[in-house]
Amino acid sequence: MWALKAAIVFVAAIFLAAGAFLLFAWRSEIPEDATAGEASFAPELVARGAQLAAVGNCIACHTVPGKPAFSGGLAVPTPFGTIYSTNITPDRDTGIGGWSEAAFERAMREGVDRAGNHLYPAFPYDHFTRVTAQDNRALYAFLMTRAAVKAEAPENELPFPLEFRPLLAGWKLLFLRQGEVEPEAARSEEWNRGRYLVEGLGHCGACHTPRNAFGAEDRDRHFGGGEAEGWQAYAINPDSKAPIPWDEQSLAFYLRNGWHEFHGVSRGPMAEVTGNLSLLPDRDIAAIATYVVSVMGDPTPERAQRAAELREQFEADRLEQTADSQSSVALASGGKAGETLYLAACANCHQGARRQPFGGLNFELSTAVNAPNPQNIVNVVLFGLPPADGEASAVMPAFRHILSDQQLADLLAYMRESFSDEPAWSGLVEQVANTRSGAYKVTIRPSDGIERAPHNVGAEEE
């Protein structure tokens, strides 16, 4: 009898808790706006929205290569499963054609769709929540003036119980800090503008900050290095491994052009970021650089000293080598495993006279060789840098049909030892094998990112 009573109380408590949670997770539907798709917007507002959409990289996640811009359906891989981006063109049935501005703003601020469903944080609303109402209006105007496309996103592939969206209310309670942030009065207007763009629409931390077991960014390791689509997004805080530390000029140049002579070409998902940022006015790029460099802080005296030496060496080397386009490197002694491969297959480009971005970076300048994880080198060597369609781009051959797992592992070990003071990497053969077999999924695209998504349909169109 006692046991039965206890069981009833227990079950009732569970139901009550579940009910309370569902009530807590519940969000209202915002009624369809019958005229949203036909509204007209000032051309200046739409043009500003185009720039903001470029900062937010909306097109990269919301477009399948070769399909119409913003029509969604791209698989966004997460450690928990695959989430498909949605159609954000103004189509009434399959897109956001029926969404009022309020519904759009709620999605950006709270990660809730028009019908009241919680959205997965694969849509980086933990950053977009910082966007001002004014900028959301411009984004809304931009999206609502794109061509409407009928396209339905595939079902997400998530294990039980993660497909149950109300659970996301719990995630948000723990990890989402909603709303705009106040400017810091002690900092310059430029710095504050940079922080707004970087921490908000730019969502740099979505890739560059490591995540915890729940897939939320670890705030204590802000910009400490993360992962995106099978690529390492290097640390861009005081832990940065760039041999010549980034400064405002080099960072602004890299973000604008997608390469820098002391840092090489932006690859993988970063290629898309820099491709999109090229739409921004100089002052916004400069603001982003100012803020990010302030997060990196001043390099230690040893690092600054080493950087000065490298600068001097590479300025001088260039002058010397312009007379002779062939590299003049030779086997040092007997040839360690990896050394011969390096000299035969890589040195001609990577220690040659061709300048960035079309020549290969000297690995003494390479963040990749100094990074804790060599994944980006494995990706680049196996799959190469494919040429971008119809544009001059940095090209590198793919070596997957030439080098065995063991050979590439030897080459990596040699490069680490020769071009960096960091400790040796471990598990290289396995890492190469898993990348080659596709067990470890890597997204490859040309260095300027135009394969994956059509060029941002920008302000010039209006």
Site for ligand HEC in 132-171 (CB under 6 A): 139
Closest separation in Å from C-beta 429 to ligand HEC: 16
Rounded CA separation 68/85 (Å): 13
- Return the residue of 273, 307, 409, 428 that touches ligand HEC, per CB under 6 A: 273
- Return the residue of 36, 49, 62, 299 that touches ligand HEC, per CB under 6 A: 62
Task: Candidates 24-32, 119-127, 320-328, 421-429: pick the segment binding ligand HEC (CB under 6 A).
Answer: 119-127
Query: Among 333, 322, 392, which Cα is nearest to 357's?
Result: 392
Closest separation in Å from C-beta 250 to ligand HEC: 9
Q: How far is CA 133 from CA 57, 106, 137, 148, 425, in A?
A: 19, 10, 6, 24, 47
Q: Which of residues 90-109 bind ligand HEC (CB under 6 A)?
A: 96, 104, 107
Work out the end-to-end distance of the chain between its first and last CA atoms, rounded to an integer number of angstroms.
76
For residue 194, state whether it binds ligand HEC (rule: CB under 6 A): no
Nearer to ligand HEC, 11 or 337 (CB): 337
Task: Candidates 2-10, 82-90, 181-189, 428-436: pick the segment binding ligand HEC (CB under 6 A).
Answer: 82-90
For residue 293, state whether it binds ligand HEC (rule: CB under 6 A): no
Handedness of CA 264, 267, 270, 272 (dihedral sign): positive
Task: Candidates 21-29, 332-340, 369-377, 438-446: pick the segment binding ligand HEC (CB under 6 A).
Answer: 369-377
For residue 120, state whether it binds ligand HEC (rule: CB under 6 A): yes
Binding track over 402-431 against ligand HEC, x by CB under 6 A: ---------x--------------------
Task: Candidates 184-192, 327-335, 380-388, 437-445: pick the segment binding ligand HEC (CB under 6 A).
Answer: 380-388
Closest separation in Å from C-beta 331 to ligand HEC: 15
- Return the residue of 58, 176, 293, 453 that touches ligand HEC, per CB under 6 A: 58
Nearer to ligand HEC, 1 or 397 (CB): 397
Q: Which of residues 383-402 bind ligand HEC (CB under 6 A)?
A: 385, 394, 396-397, 399
Rounded CA separation 407/428 (Å): 10
- Return the residue of 30, 61, 280, 432 that touches ligand HEC, per CB under 6 A: 61
For residue 270, state whether it binds ligand HEC (rule: CB under 6 A): yes
Helix/strand/coil percent split, the chain, to 5: 45, 5, 50
Query: Among 394, 453, 403, which Cα is nearest to 433's?
Result: 403
Would you say 103 and 30 are in contact if contact means Cβ atoms under 8 Å apart? yes
Contacts of residue 90, defined as CB under 8 A and 6 or more positions apart, other chains included, come to: 36, 37, 96, 97, 143, 144, 145, 146, 148
Q: How far is CA 248 from CA 214, 233, 271, in A?
A: 34, 19, 19
* Partner residues linked to 118 by β-bridges: 112
Q: Which of residues 197-256 bind ligand HEC (CB under 6 A)?
A: 198, 201-204, 206-208, 228, 231, 233-234, 236, 240, 242, 246, 251
Nearer to ligand HEC, 8 or 359 (CB): 359
Would you say 263 and 365 are in contact if contact means Cβ atoms under 8 Å apart? yes
Closest separation in Å from C-beta 426 to ligand HEC: 19
Closest separation in Å from C-beta 3 to ligand HEC: 43
* Partner residues linked to 226 by β-bridges: 233
For residue 366, state whether it binds ligand HEC (rule: CB under 6 A): yes
Query: Among 397, 386, 380, 419, which Cα is nearest to 344's?
Result: 397
Would you say 174 and 194 are in contact if contact means Cβ atoms under 8 Å apart? no
